[in-house]
């Protein structure tokens, strides 16, 4: 495996052997290592000294169920700290088959044009993308597939990334060639835009599967993992209801963000539930599907295809986070409207969590009324047109709160919270507060733990364990739902790594990878100027309680400071 370093100024590629300290890492862990080794922590995230790094995880490349994810990272224009955002789709698998352990985009171009970066065989090519001007993600992906054929993987940005908006992500085509799998969080699409790369095409046809040192041992571990994954009840629940199955659970905990995080309970929750969505999709024939895999080989298939009454696809997938932030958080209880809003933000190449949070703040400021779906769509259109208000919204919740003078702004380190109110799920609140990634449920969600989520005691321990596990899974390239299988058969992680690489790691490898990754990320952030004061939930959430439990965030500062007790 190699590092491919692409200089966007000279339009050149250098292929390098891996440093020893990079060999044992992949995905999020390798990103963190490269960031610490090579990126000036105080650099301008949209300037020449930032790097945009793509790294498949350590076990990517074998179509292990749900384990072919791609991590993308750099310094975030949203948080000002380190950022990793991972996604499904084809990109991870294709990069691995070309032998690329990390693709690093460096510098900034001298002229204004837009380019496609095409990777194939052992070479990289720059081609003009100027004819994509004004196109959304869906139309651009279609043109790219026509131009480069249906077998390639594509990672691209939309108008949001072109405009340099801090909520812009990078979209990857899924196994059915739909550009739906987004490295959404932290504004990495704007970083790609600053390199003036509109799309990356990866053609793995000249490549091959990565070597496995011990095939028999790998097959045994794979079978054991598959069996454990299939035996878990959550595998069936996520297959049938997708992530939308979280809606009623969150509402029951009083943690469903409602009308800009002013309540944890939404009267329209039933109509936003996974159960209701399943019923709708089963009744609507045509393209609707209640389950769908974002990558080849995933047995969980937590995604869906949300079709309209005419049977035609509106968006795929419609996920809980979007339902929470663009539904309950905006007082909207129509899944059809949320699906349309989701399509629009996808087409713009934006993070639906960040835009949903920004729209909630705009409603709090009186710019529109909660529940008015048409007005919400019109505001998203302002982002597309690039009006000053649209650009404010597209730069995320923190900027929107500042510009509109709203103090109820649900962000940590400048990044919007996901659809779990930290006052009612306090362990996840600890994760929001302390994660080097800013507020992000994927950094360590605690809602499935059998604890009293309202009791502040013990939440720091819960979050620590969740954060270490997630950093470990992100380094492996495993979807968090693959964790259902790995959790039941933890030895399979060790066995897969030893079989693939010929290593001799022990049963603690997930913990070791997670801790090392978090330590590196924290080191980068410290050098960028972050202190303990940045590891806090917004002050208003410690004073303003939410219904139905009259809950505030009351985990002590000393508990927050003790999360990374090894670092």
- Considering only 18-26, 225-233, 296-304, 321-329, which stretch makes contact with ligand SF4 by CB under 6 A? 296-304
Cis ω before 304 (30° cut-off from 0): no
Q: Closest approach of Cβ 301 to ligand SF4, in Å? A: 5
Identify the residue among 72, 479, 499, 560 touching ligand SF4 (CB under 6 A): 479
- Of 31 and 295, nearer to ligand SF4 (C-beta) is 295
Short-list 156, 151, 149, 192, CA closest to 172: 156
CB of 388 to ligand SF4, least distance (A): 36
Tokens of 208: 């091959």
Q: Which is nearer to ligand SF4, 479 or 520 (CB)?
A: 479
Q: How far from 280 is each of 275, 284, 304, 329, CA to CA, in Å?
A: 9, 6, 12, 22
CA pair distance 124, 143, nearest whole angstrom: 20
Cβ-based nearer residue to ligand SF4, 56 or 422: 56
User: By C-beta, is 302 or 470 nearer to ligand SF4?
Assistant: 302
Binding residue for ligand SF4, selected from 293, 326, 359, 445, defined by CB under 6 A: 293
Binding positions for ligand SF4, 121-140, rule CB under 6 A: none
Q: How far apart are CA 447 and CA 284, in angstroms?
A: 32
Q: Does 294 bind ligand SF4 (CB under 6 A)?
A: yes
Helices (H), 167-293: 188-194, 215-231, 233-241, 246-253, 274-283
Q: Buried b / exposed e across 356-390, counting CB within 10 Å, b at 16+?
A: bbbbbbbbbbebbebbbbebbeebbebbbeeeebb
Site string for ligand SF4, 65-104 (x = CB under 6 A): -x---------------------x----------------
We find the least distance from the C-beta atom of residue 214 to ligand SF4, in angstroms, to be 26
Considering the complex, state which of residue 301 and residue 329 has its C-beta at the smaller distance from ligand SF4: 301
Residue list 181-200, contact with ligand SF4 (CB under 6 A): none
For the CB of residue 243, give the shortest distance to ligand SF4 in the complex, in Å.
Answer: 8
What's the closest the beta carbon of residue 317 comes to ligand SF4, in angstroms?
A: 8
Tell the residue number behind the tokens 């837009």, with chain if given.
Answer: 114
**Which residues within the stretch 51-70 sit at the binding site for ligand SF4 (CB under 6 A)?**
66
Tell me if the bond preceding 548 is cis, omega within 30° of 0: yes
Interface with ligand SF4, residue 260, by CB under 6 A: no
Among 96, 303, 418, 517, binds ligand SF4 (CB under 6 A): 303
Per DSSP bridges, beta strands 82-87 and 52-56 are: unpaired
CA dihedral 555, 561, 564, 565 (to 10 degrees): -110
170, 302, 397, 497: which one binds ligand SF4 (CB under 6 A): 302
Residue closer to ligand SF4 (CB basis): 93 or 293:
293
Return the number of the residue (6 or 59) whose C-beta is nearest ligand SF4: 59
- In eight-state DSSP terms, residue 87 is E
Considering only 76-84, 301-309, 462-470, 503-511, which stretch makes contact with ligand SF4 by CB under 6 A?
301-309
Q: Which is nearer to ligand SF4, 6 or 305 (CB)?
A: 305
- Closer by beta carbon to ligand SF4, 201 or else 478: 478
Site for ligand SF4 (CB under 6 A): which residue of 295, 323, 383, 560?
Answer: 295
Distances (CA, A) of 462 to 51, 410, 523: 33, 22, 22
Q: Is 158 exposed, middle or buried (0-12, 13-18, 19+ CB in 10 A)?
A: buried
Number of residues that bind ligand SF4 (CB under 6 A): 12
Which residues are CB-contacts of 459 (< 8 A; sequence separation ≥ 6)?
A: 426, 427, 429, 430, 446, 555, 559
Distance in angstroms (rounded) separating the CA atoms of residues 385 and 395: 14
Of these, 183, 301, 437, 498, which contacts ligand SF4 (CB under 6 A)?
Answer: 301
User: Radius of gyration of the chain from Cα atoms?
Assistant: 22
Beta carbon of residue 294, minimum distance to ligand SF4 (angstroms, whole number): 3
187, 192, 195, 196: CA torsion to nearest 10? -110
Q: Please give the structure tokens belonging to residue 378.
A: 């019109």
Binding interface with ligand SF4 (CB under 6 A): 66, 88, 293-295, 298, 300-303, 479, 481
């Amino acid at each position: 495996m190699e590092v491919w370093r692409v200089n966007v100024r000279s339009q050149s590629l250098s292929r390098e052997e891996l440093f020893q300290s990079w060999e044992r890492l992949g995905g999020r862990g390798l990103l963190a290592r490269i960031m610490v080794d090579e990126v000036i922590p105080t650099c301008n995230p949209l300037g020449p000294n930032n790097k945009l790094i793509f790294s498949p995880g350590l076990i990517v490349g074998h179509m292990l169920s749900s384990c072919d994810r791609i991590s993308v990272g750099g310094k975030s224009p949203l948080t000002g700290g380190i950022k990793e955002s991972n996604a499904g789709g084809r990109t991870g698998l294709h990069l691995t088959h070309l032998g690329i352990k990390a693709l690093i985009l460096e510098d900034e171009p001298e002229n204004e044009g837009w380019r496609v970066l095409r990777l194939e065989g052992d070479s990289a090519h720059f081609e003009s993308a100027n004819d994509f001007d004004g196109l959304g993600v869906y139309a651009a992906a279609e043109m790219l597939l026509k131009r480069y054929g249906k077998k390639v993987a594509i990672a691209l940005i939309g108008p949001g990334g072109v405009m340099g908006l801090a909520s812009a992500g990078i979209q990857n085509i899924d196994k059915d060639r739909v550009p739906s799998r987004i490295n959404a969080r932290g504004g990495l699409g704007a970083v790609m835009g600053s390199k003036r790369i509109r799309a990356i095409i990866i053609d793995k046809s000249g490549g091959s599967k990565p070597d496995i040192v011990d095939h028999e041992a790998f097959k045994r571990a794979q079978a054991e993992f598959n069996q454990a994954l299939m035996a878990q009840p959550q595998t069936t629940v996520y297959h049938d209801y997708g992530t939308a199955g979280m809606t009623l659970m969150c509402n029951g905990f009083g943690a469903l963000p409602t009308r800009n995080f002013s309540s944890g309970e939404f009267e329209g929750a039933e109509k936003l539930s996974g159960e209701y969505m399943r019923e709708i999709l089963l009744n609507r024939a045509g393209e609707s599907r209640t389950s769908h895999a974002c990558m080849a080989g995933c047995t969980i298939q937590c995604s869906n295809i949300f079709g309209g009454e005419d049977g035609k696809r509106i968006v795929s997938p419609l996920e809980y986070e979007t339902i929470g932030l663009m539904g309950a958080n905006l007082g909207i209880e129509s899944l059809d409207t949320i699906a349309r809003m989701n399509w629009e933000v996808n087409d713009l190449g934006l993070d639906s969590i960040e835009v949903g949070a920004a729209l909630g703040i705009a409603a709090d400021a009186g710019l529109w009324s909660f529940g008015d779906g048409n007005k919400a769509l019109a505001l998203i259109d302002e982002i597309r047109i690039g009006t000053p208000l649209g650009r404010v919204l597209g730069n995320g919740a923190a900027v929107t709160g500042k510009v509109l003078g709203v103090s109820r702004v649900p962000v940590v380190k400048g990044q919007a919270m996901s659809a779990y109110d930290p006052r009612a799920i306090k362990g996840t609140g600890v994760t929001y507060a302390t994660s080097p990634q800013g507020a992000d449920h994927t950094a360590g969600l605690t809602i499935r733990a059998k604890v009293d989520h309202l009791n502040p005691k013990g939440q720091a321990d819960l979050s620590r364990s969740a954060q270490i596990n997630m950093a470990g899974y992100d380094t492996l390239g495993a979807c968090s739902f693959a964790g259902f299988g790995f959790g039941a058969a933890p030895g399979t992680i060790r066995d897969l790594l030893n079989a693939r690489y010929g290593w001799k790691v022990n049963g603690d490898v997930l913990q070791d990878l997670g801790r090392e990754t978090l330590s590196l990320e924290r080191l980068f952030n410290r050098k960028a100027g972050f202190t303990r004061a940045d590891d806090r939930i917004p002050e208003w959430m410690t004073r303003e309680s939410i219904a139905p439990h009259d809950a505030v965030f009351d985990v002590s500062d000393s508990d927050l400071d003790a999360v990374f007790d090894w670092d």
